[in-house]
Amino acid sequence: MTERNQANANVMMGYIEREVASSVALLDRLAPAERPAWLPRLARRSYTFMLDDGIKGAPPDSLLSARVAASILEGVGARYDVTANAVPGEPEHIQVHLKLMDGMPLTIDYRPPPRIPVSPWFPAAMLAQLAVLGACCWLAVRVATRPLHQLAQAADALGPDLKPHRMAEDGPSEVARAARAFNAMQDRIAGYLAERIQILAAISHDLQTPITRMRLRVDLMDDETQQGKLRQDLQAMESLVREGLAYARTLHGTEEQPRRTDPDALLDSIVCDYTDAGQQVTLHGAIGRECLLRPQALKRVLGNLIDNALKFGGSADITATLQSAGTIAITVRDHGPGIPDDALEAVFQPFHRLEGSRNRETGGTGLGLAIARQLTLAMDGELTLHHADGGGLEARLVLATTATSL
């Protein structure tokens, strides 16, 4: 719009300069009696001619009026004594005064034409252009950041079970290179974990033979007191080896595939097994529908939680609820002394025990909750510990499942 106004002003200045000079020269050559008849013919949309002294005033104060006055003065030339002034009260209204050769006054009254109005469609076109530009910028940013979003998703999905979430190795060279590097990193991590599991399995297998020989030799001992102590130590060694190997396997995830399971029936069977063994385990609430679950992994997680509740609280209260169409929550509460706030997360670390002694009867191996947390992560769930109202500890297991009506 500014460029258009400037171009129009430049064209108008040149037009005024030529036309006014021609009109003044024509009026100067006409007889005084003929001049009034020619005034309407020489008038234009923006200026008119008057055969009088006009209105006096101050010099033009606006930029456009000053440019018009300068153009008229330049066009008329030095033959006439020309003055220009603004008409009082109207900043864009000027008058140029001169006298013809016979002394008759001539006034050029200039009123600038109205500015060219903006077309009605122009604001709408500008808004549409801005909208298109904004949409293109948003699309460009999305396209540029999509590989980073995919990489972040693949990194988040890289869980303890190392499920394959391979990225597509295509697109720009930088993106393809990053995808290849990430896939290679997943393969290396999977290889390292598999190698570690094989080492632990080999150690566990190789330890079975000397432990068995030690058992045979213990059975041949005459000192029954020492015999019993050594037998307990051998049992502790076997249990520690088994639990360590089980924890390593949970780091690599579970091979069990999800299948339709009735969680209420599974929980009821677990509670019945503990009740038949004389343990105080109760069940409250119900899920009320079948879900896609890994029943063996879930049973093992709940078994570890219930065993801890019985060990430290003497009883376990299980509550099952359906949080949403695809999420269930199972809590296991005990009535024991609880644990400090700073230990609510620390107890999930391998071999972390709140009981400071090395007695496995009171402190355990420190792997139960670690195994439960790893199995929960392998099931795409969440396991947390909270202080229960009224004392005790509450283990909360939340699983995202695909639920189907019974």
Q: What is the pLDDT of residue 352?
A: 67
Backbone conformation region of residue 390, classed left if phi is above 0, alpha if psi is from -120 to 50, else beta? left
> What six digits make up the tokens of 403?
């639920």
Region 276-291: mean pLDDT is 89
> What six digits make up the tokens of 345?
């997360």
Q: Return d(Cα 108, Cα 19) in angstroms, integer.
A: 12
Q: What is the pLDDT of residue 245?
A: 65
**For residue range 361-405, what is the model confidence (pLDDT) as tens digits?**
444 556 778 888 888 887 888 899 988 888 889 999 998 876 544
SS3 280: strand
- Name the residue with tokens 């003497």: 314
- Whether the pTM exceeds 0.75: the reply is no
Q: What is the pLDDT of residue 396?
A: 93
Q: From 310, 331, 309, 305, select the one nearest 320 (Cα to Cα).
A: 331
Q: From 368, 388, 372, select the one nearest 313 (Cα to Cα).
A: 388
Q: What is the pLDDT of residue 398?
A: 92
* 150 and 158 Cβ atoms separated by less than 8 Å: no
Name which residue leads in pLDDT, 341 or 136. Answer: 136
Q: What is the pLDDT of residue 271?
A: 92
CA distance to 175, 386, 388, 398, per residue, from 333 (Å) = 48, 9, 7, 14
Q: Return d(Cα 82, Cα 97) in angstroms, integer.
A: 6
Region 163-174: mean pLDDT is 74
Region 228-242: mean pLDDT is 75
pLDDT for 129 beyond 60: yes
Q: From 384, 400, 262, select the one nearest 324 (Cα to Cα).
A: 400
Q: Return d(Cα 146, Cα 139) in angstroms, integer.
A: 10
Name which residue leads in pLDDT, 404 or 210. Answer: 210
> CB 391: neighbour CB atoms within 10 A?
12
| Most confidently predicted of 45-54, 59-68, 366-375 | 45-54
Q: What is the mean pLDDT of the chain?
A: 80
Helix 173-219 with 224-251: angle, nearest 10 deg: 170
Q: What is the DSSP letter of 402?
A: -
- Percentage of the chain beyond pLDDT 70 is 84
CA distance to 213, 229, 231, 233, 406, per residue, from 223 (Å) = 18, 10, 12, 16, 62
Region 129-138: mean pLDDT is 94
Q: What is the pLDDT of residue 359?
A: 42
Q: What is the pLDDT of residue 406?
A: 40
> What six digits make up the tokens of 19?
């036309």
Q: Return d(Cα 236, Cα 308) in angstroms, integer.
A: 18
Amino acid letter, residue 231: R
DSSP letters of 325-346?
Answer: TTEEEEEEE--S----GGGTTG
- Name the residue with tokens 């040149």: 14
Amino acid letter, residue 70: A
Q: From 172, 117, 123, 125, select the one nearest 150 (Cα to Cα).
A: 172
> 384: burial class by Cβ within 10 Å (0-12, 13-18, 19+)?
middle
Q: Return d(Cα 273, Cα 281) in angstroms, integer.
A: 9
> 84: burial class by Cβ within 10 Å (0-12, 13-18, 19+)?
buried
Q: Return d(Cα 162, Cα 186) in angstroms, integer.
A: 8
Strand 290-293: give its sheet, edge to edge: 259-261, 290-293, 403-404
Q: What is the pLDDT of residue 354?
A: 65
pLDDT for 163 beyond 70: no
H or E element: which one contains 281? strand 280-285
Q: Return d(Cα 112, Cα 94) in angstroms, integer.
A: 9
Q: What is the CATH architecture of 256-404?
A: 2-Layer Sandwich (3.30)
For the 2-110 domain, the top CATH level (class) is: alpha beta
H or E element: which one contains 15? helix 2-29
pLDDT for 130 beyond 90: yes
Instruction: Report H helices in 172-280.
Output: 173-219, 224-251, 263-276
pLDDT for 356 beyond 50: no
Amino acid letter, residue 299: K
Read off φ and ψ for residue 55, nearest 5 degrees. -115, 130
Domain ranges of the chain: 2-110, 122-185, 256-404
Q: What is the DSSP letter of 166?
A: P
Q: Return d(Cα 323, Cα 328) in angstroms, integer.
A: 5
